[in-house]
């Protein structure tokens, strides 16, 4: 997106919910100095929106970006799946509730991801010993 005279207020807090009919995600974002922004996404488009955000961050080199701070976000009913992709890539699916995000990743990264998932799954077992 080319830079212009448009104002892009920085979001400092966000919250949301799902509409009564379950078709739309309703979002409210508080900005620094520009009040609230309200928007909605069709449930089917949430995947595309999240993917867009992740791609924008991944494509940016981040020379001027502050260091990332890792915040955990509790998520219920999660499963992970692996599908074969085309060529030298695979797909990793993350299911949250009834929705799934699919990420195309290099096939060479699959062993490391699998090992990390197995290590994470084994941690609760270690606490029992």
* Count of domains for the chain: 2
User: Residue 5: which region, alpha, beta or left (left: phi > 0; alpha: psi -120 to 50)?
Assistant: alpha
Whether this model's pTM surpasses 0.75: no
Residue 45 lies in a domain: yes
Regarding whether 87 and 119 lie in a shared domain, the answer is yes
Evaluate whether 25 touches 43 at the Cβ level (below 8 Å). Answer: yes
pLDDT of residue 20: 97
Q: Using a pLDDT cut of 70, give the percent of the chain over it.
A: 76
Give the pLDDT score at 44: 87
Q: In terms of domains, do 51 and 28 share one?
A: yes
pLDDT, tens digit, 9 for 90 and up, residues 8-28 = 899 999 999 999 999 999 999
| pLDDT tens digits, one per residue of 28-82 | 999 998 999 999 999 989 888 988 888 887 777 666 666 666 667 777 667 777 7
Range of the domain at 40: 9-61
> Cα(100)–Cα(32) distance, rounded to whole angstroms?
32
The pLDDT of residue 52: 87
Q: Is residue 69 part of a domain?
A: no
Say whether both 89 and 115 belong to one domain: yes
Query: 57 and 101: one domain?
Result: no
Beta bridge partners of 25: 18, 41
pLDDT digits (tens, 9 = 90+) for 52-61: 888 887 777 6
HSE-up of residue 98 (Cα within 13 Å, Cβ side): 4
* Nearest by Cα to 107 from 87, 121, 129, 79: 87
């Amino acid at each position: 997106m080319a830079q212009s005279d448009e104002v892009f207020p920085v979001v400092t807090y966000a919250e949301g919910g799902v509409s009564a009919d379950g078709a739309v995600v309703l979002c409210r974002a508080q900005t620094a100095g520009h009040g609230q922004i309200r928007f909605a996404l069709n449930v089917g488009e949430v995947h595309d929106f999240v993917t867009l955000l992740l791609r924008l961050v991944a494509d940016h080199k981040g020379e001027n970006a502050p260091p990332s701070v890792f915040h955990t976000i509790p998520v219920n009913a999660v499963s992970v799946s692996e599908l074969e992709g085309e060529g030298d890539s695979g797909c990793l699916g993350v299911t949250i509730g009834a929705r799934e995000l699919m990420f195309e990743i290099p096939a060479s990264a699959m062993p490391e991801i699998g090992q990390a998932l197995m290590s994470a799954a084994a941690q609760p077992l270690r606490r029992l010993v």
